[in-house]
Structure 1
Amino acid sequence: MARLIDTTVFIEVERRGHPPSAVQVLAAGEPIAMSSISAAELLFGVERADSLERRRQRVEFIEAVLAEVPVLPFDLHVARVYGQVWGRLRATGTQIARHDLMIAATAMAFGYEVLTYNIRHFERVPGLTVSRPDL
């Protein structure tokens, strides 16, 4: 099954000093993509850098990721899935961070599983396949 790589995986790959291509290895040969929401979160991380050197490193890493990993849009189809899932979760009193729900909806709309280090959040979404990478 194709894998939607969550922001947490990219962050962990960078923190451990691995090249962006390490994400391909984590996908175990399956097709991969990222959500436009994850792209936005990573780009926000550039703005939060605590030094010019750290900012340069993040830009280099993120631009390499964006060059290698297809970005799936949060379009009308995904928005419909998001609304449906959010409604179901709300009806059961289940809460999940909005960005995580947007990433989950993207995965569901495109038929992907989510590869994440944030299993607890994503497991709350009924019908979503979630796995944790071995890094």
Structure 2
Amino acid sequence: MATAFVLDTDVCIDLIRGRVPANDSESGRIALAASVISSVTLAELEVGVVKAPNRPRQQLDDFLEQVLVADFDTAAARHYGEIRAHLEKKGSTIGPLDLLIAAHARSRGASLVTANVREFRRVPGLKCIGWIRVSRIAQPGR
């Protein structure tokens, strides 16, 4: 069964920080239960925890309890090869980790939810859903 949504790193960061989309767009209705993150995204999030010691590990751990982490597998590797060769031939590459995440989402038949649709639209056959970034939601009592 195909996964409905793969969350890009920027979306995960917003969710971890308590940010939500600015409007009632499709991305605002996505349930975490129907989403996965790539193991590549998890690696990026781990770097963020190490580089920003003021961000407690617990925030990431709490987030990880709500999503499934999908391992980058053989199917994703095949899509990666196809996508990279295609983009290099066109002279229009994307960032190396973004390329891995795009390949992973496409291999799962999933839509990639990202705030960076412009970059990912270069990937043939990848479905993207735009995530609209906003400031942190005010918490009661703060």
In the alignment, what sits opposite 1:3?
Answer: 5
- Runs ≥4 residues deviating over 6 A: none
Q: Could you list the per-position Cα deviations for residues 96-120 of structure 1 after superposition, in whole angstroms to 9, with x for gaps in the alignment?
A: 0010010000001111000011112
In the alignment, what sits opposite 1:22?
Answer: none
Output the aligned Cα RMSD: 2.1
After TM superposition, list the pairs within 5 Å mapping 1:1-135 onto structure 2.
2-15=4-17, 17-18=18-19, 26-29=28-31, 31-49=34-52, 51=53, 54-56=54-56, 59-134=57-132
Q: Give ranges in structure 1 of 5+ residues lacking alignment.
A: 20-24
Preserved CA contact (<8 Å) 1:117 1:133: yes
> Displacement, 1:18?
4.6
Q: Give ranges in structure 2 of 5+ residues lacking alignment.
A: 21-26, 134-142
> Displacement, 1:6?
0.5
TM-score, structure 2 normalization: 0.79
Distance 1:90 1:31 in 2: 33
AA of the residue aligned to 1:12: D
Query: In the superposition, relative to structure 1, how do residues 73 and 27 fare at CA in structure 2: closer, same or farther (>3 Å)?
Result: farther
AA of the residue aligned to 1:9: V
Counting matched residue pairs gives 124
> Displacement, 1:27?
4.7
- Identity, in percent, stands at 35
Q: From the two aligned structures, give the one with the greater helix fraction.
A: 1
